[in-house]
Structures are given as C-alpha cells and as structure tokens.
Amino acid sequence: MLERIRIVLIGTSHPGNIGGVARAMHNMGLADLALVAPRCEVITQDSISRASGADHLLHQASVHASLEEAVADCTLAVGASARSRTLPWPMLSPRELADRLPAECQAAESRVALVFGREDSGLTNAELQRCHAHVHIPTNADFSSLNLAAAVQVLAYECRMAWLSQSDGQADAPPTVPSDDDDLATHAELERYFEHLERTLIGIDFHDPDQPRQLMAKLRRLYLRARPERMEMNILRGILSATEKAANTKPPKP
Ligand code: SAH
C-alpha cells in the first residue's frame, strides 16, 4: 500500500523543506516523491542535511512541469489545504483519508497522490479543483498553516497507521473491493474527458468561456465525486462525440 502513495510538492521554494519532506516520507515508509516546477534547487547542502540520511529520495524524485503530468497515472488525488476555498469540495480529515487508503490501494494499477502547495501561497484553486477531495489537518483556526514538511509528516503518519492496522488485521481482512474498481479512470483520462466536455459545451452554446460562472469547476466536482471507471468514461466521451456530430448536422436556428 505504501508503495502506491505518491507525495507531490508543487512550486516548493526552500530546499530545506524538500529535504524535510524526504525525511518524513522515509520515516513512514513512503518513497515516491514528485516535484512540480520546484522554485529552488533540489539537491543542496540544506536539503541533504534536512533529509538526515533520506537523501536517496531526493535523488530519485521525479520532476514535472505540471500537476497533470505528476498525477497522470493516479486514480485518486487529494489536495492538502490549510484554508477553505470559495467553492466547497469534498473534505476529508487526515484519518478519514487514511481509512480509505487500504481499499484505494488494493487494485494493482491504483496510485494515490497527496498534493501539497507552495510555502507562500499554498495550492491554487485550479490545482485544488484537479483533486478528487481535499484534506485539512485540524489546527488552531487562528494559525492554521503548518510548515510543508510538518504537513507531509502528519499525513504520512496517518498513511503508516492505516497500513499497520491493515497488516495487523490481515487474517480477518475485509473482502477485496469489487473488481470493477480495478479499472478506475486515471487522472489523465479524466482530464481528457474534461477538455472534451468543455469543447462540446462551448460548441453547443451551453457554456460561455467569457462568463464561466464556475461551470467547469462544478462539473469537475460532480465527476470527481462519482469516481468514474474507464469504461464509463468511454461511454461519456461517446455521448460527447455524438452530441458534437448532431450539433454540426442540425440546421442553424432561425
Ligand atoms: N500560506 C499557505 C500555506 C502554505 S503551507 C496558504 O495560506 O495556503 C504549504 C503547504 O502545506 C500547503 O499548501 C498545504 O498543502 C500544506 N498544509 C499546511 N498546513 C496545512 C493544514 N493545516 N492542513 C492541510 N495541509 C496543510
């Protein structure tokens, strides 16, 4: 299970924090570190010293230009956020997230991404809207923002606790998730669908990109909540293609 969990850091600006994250991950048995557009060097004296012996995670970290690229193969992406945002999104506590992980990680091709934001400004709304759910570490409401490596530590600890209780209870482990879940759509497949959906909605004059009214964000929230399977995505894309075709063949409105 721990091998299927990826820690994704977006736009990190302090090498020491990346080192601290590597240490927190290795302490808890996580190894998959992905960096999206880091705003600092990754391998420095500071990051190596803060990693305290976990610097192999820094050397093997993958670096990506965008969040989409870093989570393309993931079947669940959860954004860690210190603040609540304008458009409410499914929220999990760290423990609720951890409770879901054993089932989420059961299928051979499943991958879970835990996404963390910039030290100065966190995650953007667009980045948060690319996640199935958000996780908030309960804190003092007047002082809610943890240091990046500390936030990773808390969630990595919850992942480890879930993994430990899963291995303890192996003898009477719950039945495996239905086989359909083996085929959840990946992040990249969902993104392709959202692009197609937006194009079609513009084409049929349902959506005006100059007056978006959060339509795409609301539709994203709906589809991400439903956790579609690959086969269901194919049906939905087929419907979009048929809609586009019908719209092009319909006579123009009088
Ligand atoms: N100043 C930023 C917070 C940056 S802290 C802001 O106001 O959004 C860096 C990252 O650590 C955040 O983007 C988030 O991913 C994580 N983090 C910090 N505190 C958190 C909390 N209480 N719950 C969940 N994630 C948190």
For ligand 1, atom 11: residue with the closest CA: 148
Q: How many CB atoms lie within 10 A of CB 3?
A: 11
Q: Is 93 in the pocket of ligand 1 (CB under 6 A)?
A: no
pLDDT at 145: 94
Percent of the chain with pLDDT over 90: 84
Q: Which residue, among 5, 234, 223, 222, has the nearest Cα to 104 in the 3D structure? A: 5
Q: Which residue, among 253, 106, 246, has the nearest Cα to 182 in the 3D structure? A: 106
Q: Is 81 in the pocket of ligand 1 (CB under 6 A)?
A: yes
**Is residue 175 situated within a structural domain?**
no
Three-state DSSP state, 128: helix
Same domain for 164 and 135:
yes
Q: How far apart are CA 25 and CA 158, in angstroms?
A: 11
Q: How far is the CA of 72 from the centre of ligand 1 (A)?
A: 23
Domain containing 100 equals: 2-170
**Is residue 45 situated within a structural domain?**
yes
Q: How far apart are CA 89 and CA 190, in angstroms?
A: 17
> What CATH number does residue 212 fall under?
1.10.8.590
pLDDT at 172: 47
**Is residue 253 situated within a structural domain?**
no
User: How far from 135 is each of 17, 84, 91, 95, 106, CA to CA, in Å?
Assistant: 20, 10, 6, 9, 21
pLDDT at 252: 63
Q: Indicate the residue type of 189.
A: E
Number of domains in the chain: 2
Q: Is 148 in the pocket of ligand 1 (CB under 6 A)?
A: yes
Of 121, 139, 170, which residue is a domain's last?
Answer: 170
> What CATH number does residue 77 fall under?
3.40.1280.10
Segment-wise mean pLDDT, segments of 10 residues, the chain, 254 residues? 97 98 98 98 97 97 98 96 84 96 90 97 95 96 95 98 82 47 86 96 94 93 92 94 89 63
Q: How many CB atoms lie within 10 A of CB 175?
A: 5
Of 130, 152, 170, which residue is a domain's last?
Answer: 170
Q: How far is the CA of 149 from the centre of ligand 1 (A)?
A: 10
**Is residue 28 situated within a structural domain?**
yes
42 contacts 10 by C-beta, under 8 angstroms: no
* 0.75 exceeded by pTM: yes
Q: How far is the CA of 147 from the centre of ligand 1 (A)?
A: 7
**Is residue 6 situated within a structural domain?**
yes
